[in-house]
Structure 1
Amino acid sequence: MLLFFLVLCTFPHTDSAEAAVFDTSQDSWGVLGGYGQSIPGWGDTTQRVETIDLVLRYNHRIFDNLGSGWYRGYHSILLELPVHFVVSPDVSSMVGMNFLACYTFTANQDIRPYLFGGGGPVYSFADVPGMGSELNGNYQFGLGLSYGINPDHDFLFELRYHHISNGGSEEPNEPLNSVKALFGLTF
């Protein structure tokens, strides 16, 4: 009965509602490159693994004009396709897909800091001792700066914490806890 009453009360207002449209007008693509290194002794990490990273990123804005003052900004979803070229202790690669939530502060139009976090699957071709599986997962979080070069391009700088493990699906399961520094450009 309560549900019927609620529908009856909102029925006159349904004709004024507009359907949400998937708006991609403010979306952007980006390419980032950089260096990462796992740190033995950080958590259960035992191996020092060094990588050269290349990341293709799609940035889709979800909510714009949030907050006010110094914390004014927008929320977006980042879809990344990273390739990690392992240069030590093995020469190989790891590939993955990341789904990251991001908040960008827009109080200053030229320099915009942002925070992000999320994760996804990672497939490792590398023979890293302690990693018991080729199919792994990762989670990461970090912070970055976006500097507007012109209206169409931004320069990006990021620092990330990056964790890779198989989640206990196979033994051994020694994780890689890494720090990564990345530079990039949006287009």
Structure 2
Amino acid sequence: MNSFLRVLAVVILGLATCSSPLEAQERRLASGNWTRGLTGGWGHSWTPGYGKTKSDVGFVAFHPQLGRFVTDHLELYGEGTLFLYHEPSVAVGAGLAGIGGRYHAWNDRQWTPYVVGIAGLIWTDLDIPELDRLFNFQLIYGVGVRVVTRRGPGWIVELRSHHISNAGTVGDNLGVNAVTLVAGVQWVLR
């Protein structure tokens, strides 16, 4: 009986010192928070099972970003797009992907996975058969991980599929698809 009371006392003391799972954890991402960021990355053409991308396209990418959390998990944001193509020739692409969102799995942890989708407009002088004009549309989707710090900038890393086409407005509308690895810094302003 004496050993039972000791074990019971240790269990009760242990439970008393642990934080309750019902206790609210600090939300690192919350409705109303603004976000700012700058990301860069590298991309290369690919055929994801749709589209008719045949040209080898390689580029480096830069994306300034601005967003706001509309729920504790959903961030609506927009980003600028700057592509510096190095393959098949030197060219530039610039645009605005102004309608997008990231849905985060968790809002109370230091890191959280998310899914991303965004759309916008892009101008490019890239001369390949898949693009019939200079002014095109862009559609981006992918997955990422966000590291949220209590102070200062955090990190994001994304793997994206980036589609550029004229949306059937001119010519054959073959479009170009690229897989892009993007990483950068993000500030969550509370």
Is the TM-score greater than 0.5?
yes
2:66 aligned partner: 58
Structure 2, gaps ≥5 residues long: 1-30
Change (3 A) 1:28 1:119: same
Matches of 1:147 and 1:101, distance apart in 2: 17
Runs of 4+ in 1 over 3 A off after TM superposition: none
Change (3 A) 1:40 1:116: closer
**Deviation of the 1:173 alpha carbon:** 2.3
Is the contact made by 1:139 and 1:163 (CA closer than 8 Å) also made in structure 2? yes
Once the two structures are superposed, the pairs formed by residues 92-131 of structure 1 within 5 Å of their partners are: 92-98=91-97, 99-106=99-106, 109-131=109-131
Is the contact made by 1:92 and 1:126 (CA closer than 8 Å) also made in structure 2? yes
Is the contact made by 1:35 and 1:182 (CA closer than 8 Å) also made in structure 2? yes
Compute the RMSD of aligned alpha carbons.
2.0
Aligned length: 156
Is the contact made by 1:46 and 1:174 (CA closer than 8 Å) also made in structure 2? no
Higher Cα Rg, which structure? 2
2:143 aligned partner: 143
Structure 1, gaps ≥5 residues long: 1-23, 65-73
Matches of 1:40 and 1:145, distance apart in 2: 24
1:6 aligned partner: none
TM-score normalised per structure 2 = 0.75
Is the contact made by 2:32 and 2:71 (CA closer than 8 Å) also made in structure 1? no
TM-score normalised per structure 1 = 0.77
| More displaced stretch, 89-98 vs 167-176 | 167-176
**Deviation of the 1:149 alpha carbon:** 4.3
2:39 aligned partner: 32
Deviations 1:65-84 (A, max 9, x none): xxxxxxxxx11111100101
Structure with more of its chain in strand, by fraction = 1
**Deviation of the 1:31 alpha carbon:** 0.5
Change (3 A) 1:62 1:90: same
* Percent sequence identity over aligned pairs: 23
Deviations 1:4-63 (A, max 9, x none): xxxxxxxxxxxxxxxxxxxx9610100000101112585211111111000001121111
Is the contact made by 1:40 and 1:47 (CA closer than 8 Å) also made in structure 2? no
Change (3 A) 1:160 1:182: same
